[in-house]
Amino acid sequence: MKKNNLITPEGTHDLLFEECLARQAVENKLTSAFRTRGYNEVMTSCLEYYDVFDPDASGISPEEMYKMTDRRGRLIVMRPDSTLPIARLVATRLQNHQLPIRLFYNQPVYRSNPGLAGRLDENAQAGIELMGASGIRADLEVLTTAVEALSSCCPDFRLELGHAGFFREFARQLPISEEEREDIRCAIETKNYAALDTILDSLPQTMAVSGMRQLPRLFGGEEVFQQAKEVCPTKATLETLSYLHQVYHAVQDLGLGSHVIVDLGLVQRNDYYTDLIFTAYTEGYGDSILFGGRYDNLLARFHCPMPAIGFGIDVEALTRIALSKGHYNAPPAAQVLVYGENGYSIKALAHARALTHQGLRCETSVAETREEAEAYARSLGICRLDVVGARISEVLL
């Protein structure tokens, strides 16, 4: 007996009617925001070789990937991330392209999330990648594009700025294993102070431990930078703090300050981020709706070294938010139902086509009788029935 032929796999779902309208509207708004900034669309294969997502470089656990083999026995995964395939694409097909390269995507990613209730395994994402450009100008271009894209879909959001250098520098100075490093990262990401203190209390109490302990507590506005100077005494961390302060002031000067706060405890799951990182949240939705950052070392893995920065937006989340606010309703019924009497089916189809050219939403009836056609129209709220025979008559229902 078939047990699973009436359900979708865990972590996936179907979309109906107004859900499709909302998804398409979100995608169209994001696409427009990206195109007007000079970004060109690319699409990568849903199937990629496992080597593209080497866990040591990507930070994506093998357990999170959907895996299979091709006919030669080579390990293949369903795309769990869009940045790495685009880096592969740039290294192989755009290596002689004029820099910088501005690309955007709109495609699903697939990750197994058994322990994260509410997260989908098949998740629609859209985003941009700016490759071959470094420095504050490039960072600000991507940040402003992120703000503009989100503003077109979800005006009420908060963008958090951080820097991968803080966590990386403190972790480098701690006598910890990779597993302990990940436990610390998870505790900081979730602002689980108790779990973080438990781990750090077992280590020698150095300046690095003190700095790591304070990271999740360092979030807010201008005051964060003064507080951070007290726990970031090394030259590397002070330089990082100075650059982040510069970006923060530039964002203020651009008039985006109402959307932006600083969070030095911002740490990303993906290990390829090197410098500026950022994420966005909106009220009423518990997870991030945007995530991104600078990843200057990633393309070297594909033998095409160049600086790069980008972000991804959770299209699924924006769709849910739009639906929850009642922005989209079920599609309205057709305005006209066309019924062709026996022998006049072709004439009825031609009449329906003429009505659609006039801009009317029109259905053609497949009923055997006029009475059945009228009953169908009334059941759906279609107010006009055109009966096509030797002549055409309009019936208002």
Contact 294, 276 (CB under 8 A): yes
The length of the chain, given as a count of residues: 397
Q: How many structural domains does the chain have?
A: 2
Task: Say whether both 271 and 353 belong to one domain.
Answer: no
Pick from 324, 351, 368: which residue ends a domain? 324
34 within a domain of the structure (yes/no) = yes
Q: How far apart are CA 173 and CA 149, in angstroms?
A: 38
| Domain final position from 273, 294, 324 | 324
Residues 108, 174 within the same domain: yes
- Give yes or no for a contact between 308 and 295, defined as CB atoms under 8 angstroms apart: yes
In this structure, the answer to whether residues 359 and 260 fall within a common structural domain is no
Burial class of residue 164 (count of CB atoms within 10 Å of its CB; 0-12, 13-18, 19+): buried
pLDDT in tens, the chain (397 residues): 578 888 888 888 889 999 999 999 999 999 999 999 999 999 999 999 999 998 877 878 888 899 999 999 999 999 999 999 999 999 999 989 999 999 999 999 999 876 655 678 899 999 999 999 999 999 999 999 999 999 999 888 999 999 988 888 888 888 888 888 888 888 888 788 888 888 888 888 888 888 888 888 888 989 989 888 888 767 888 888 999 999 999 988 888 778 889 998 888 765 788 999 999 999 878 789 999 999 999 999 999 999 999 999 999 999 999 998 887 888 889 999 999 999 999 999 999 999 999 999 999 999 999 999 999 999 999 999 999 999 999 999 8
State which H helix or E strand residue 129 sits in.
strand 122-131
The whole-number pLDDT of residue 117 equals: 55
The tokens for 89 are 């694409």
Which residues span the domain enclosing 164?
A: 17-324
343 and 388 Cβ atoms separated by less than 8 Å: no
Pairing type for strands 308-314 and 122-131 reads: antiparallel
**Of 324, 354, 378, which residue sits at a domain end?**
324
For residues 73 and 145, state if they share a domain: yes
The answer on 237 and 141 residing in a single domain is yes
Q: What is the pLDDT at residue 195? A: 86
* Residue at 213 is within a domain: yes
Regarding whether 81 and 189 lie in a shared domain, the answer is yes
User: 71 in a domain, yes or no?
Assistant: yes
Question: Do 380 and 300 lie in a common domain?
Answer: no
Spatial distance between the Cα atoms of 169 and 234, rounded to a whole number of angstroms: 9
> Which of these, 145, 159, 138, 140, lies nearest to 33 by C-alpha position?
145
The CATH number covering residue 259 comes to 3.30.930.10
Both 240 and 385 in a single domain? Answer: no
- Has residue 6 been placed in a domain? no
What would the 3-class secondary structure string for 35-50 be? HHCCCEECCCCCEEEH
Place of tokens 């095409």: 304
Pairing of strands 47-49, 75-78: antiparallel
Output the CA–CA distances (angstroms, integers) from residue 397 to 29, 377, 386, 387, in the order listed. 38, 8, 11, 12
Based on the fold, state whether residues 352 and 216 are members of the same structural domain: no
144 domain residue, yes or no: yes
What pLDDT was estimated at residue 199? 86
pTM of the complete model:
0.88
Pair (239, 345) in one structural domain: no
Position 373 in a domain: yes
Residue 57 contacts residue 88 (beta carbons within 8 Å): no
Indicate which CATH number applies to the domain containing 381: 3.40.50.800
| 319 and 366 together in one domain | no
| Assigned token pair, 192 | 């689980």
Q: What is the pLDDT of residue 340?
A: 96
In contact, 262 and 241? CB cutoff 8 Å: no
What does the pLDDT read at residue 269?
65
Helix axes 178-189, 164-172, angle to 10 degrees: 140
Q: Which amino acid is at 42?
A: V
User: Which two three-digit tokens encode residue 389?
Assistant: 């025979």
* Sign of CA pseudo-dihedral 172, 173, 178, 181: negative
Annotate 322-337 with b (16+ C-beta within 10 A) or e (fewer).
bbeeeebeeeeebebb
Are residues 239 and 314 both part of a single domain? yes
Q: Is residue 8 part of a domain?
A: no
DSSP assignment of 238-287, as one string?
Answer: HHHHHHHHHHHHHHHHTT-GGGEEEETT---S-TT--SEEEEEEETT--S
Is-contact 55 61, C-beta < 8 A? yes
Q: Could you tell me if residue 331 is inside a domain? A: no
